[in-house]
Amino acid sequence: MFQDLLLPVLVLISLADAMTLNDCPSDLARDHSLQIYKNSCFQFVLDHHRDYPEANKDCKRHGGTLALTKTKDVQDFLVGQLEHTYHHGSVVWIGLTDMVKEDTYVWEDGTVLGPNDFKHWASGRLLHQFDDCAALDPSENGLWYDYPCESHLFGLISAEKSYVCEYKMQVASPTPPVEG
Ligand SMILES: [Ca+2]
């Protein structure tokens, strides 16, 4: 009888349990670079430098995109990890560009950065026409800067940076409470 009670309790506990690294894409190495925050798995690719398209392609290969810092809490999580866990002081690509239309910034999930949305741009950015890809600078409290997406002059002007990938995890939606 006791066992009859125990099983449903265990099932409930495991459903309520927070996500773990096991929920990250299975082809990613389970190492120090993986972190869970809310319903996403973040991969801090800090030992490789790629230009924006190549970095985003690397994330897509595992089913994700460059990180979408669309809210202050995700932004703060990323900056906190870069600063305190990885001690990483240089800029990392995030998934935001105005490649298609100058000054219309679009997240890699296709949503447009609207006038009232969270943003964290550094002031005094120049050369907007040439700089279409966003990176955040952990040494400046995570301020966003736009940079050239790709290298030029045979790599003399390099666009290669570290980056953070985000993988949205598949969450079984909880059954809505039955009213009555
Ligand atoms: Ca631009």
The residue-averaged pLDDT of 125-148 equals 90
Residue 87 alpha carbon to ligand 1 centre in Å = 29
Q: What is the DSSP letter of 123?
A: S
pLDDT at 138: 97
**Element counts in the chain: helices (H) and strands (E):** 3, 8
pLDDT higher than 50, residue 16: no
| pLDDT at position 4 | 63
Is residue 10 pLDDT above 60, yes or no? Answer: no
Q: How far is the CA of 134 from the centre of ligand 1 (A)?
A: 9
To the nearest 10°, the Cα dihedral for 58, 62, 67, 70? 140
| 66-82 per-position pLDDT tens digit | 999 999 999 999 999 99
Q: Which tokens go with 91?
A: 């800029």
Domain ranges of the chain: 30-168
CA–CA separation, 6 vs 84, rounded Å? 41
* Cα of 113 from ligand 1 centre, angstroms: 13
pLDDT of residue 22: 87
**Ligand 1 centroid to 173 CA: how many Å?**
38
Say how many Å lie between the CA of residue 52 and the centre of ligand 1. 14
Whether the per-residue pLDDT at 176 is higher than 70: the answer is no
Please, what's the largest Cα pairwise distance for the chain? 75
Instruction: Report which of residues 102 and 124 the model is more confident about.
Output: 102
How many A from CA of 126 to the centre of ligand 1? 10
145 C-alpha to center of ligand 1: Å? Answer: 11
CA–CA distance, 125 with 145 (Å, rounded to integer): 7
Cβ(78)–Cβ(142) below 8 Å: yes
Going from the Cα of 144 to the center of ligand 1, the distance in angstroms, rounded, reads: 13
What would the pLDDT profile of 68-118 be if each residue is shown by its tens digit? Answer: 999 999 999 999 999 999 999 999 999 999 999 999 999 999 999 999 999
- What pLDDT was estimated at residue 174? 60
Among the listed residues 18, 67, 17, 83, the one whose alpha carbon sits nearest the alpha carbon of residue 167: 67
CATH architecture observed for domain 30-168: Roll (3.10)
- Write down the mean pLDDT value for the chain: 88
Ligand 1 (ion): residues with CB under 5 Å are: 98, 128, 132
Share of the chain above pLDDT 70, in %: 82
Q: State in Å: Cα 112 to ligand 1 middle.
A: 14
For residues 137 and 122, is the Cβ–Cβ distance under 8 A?
yes
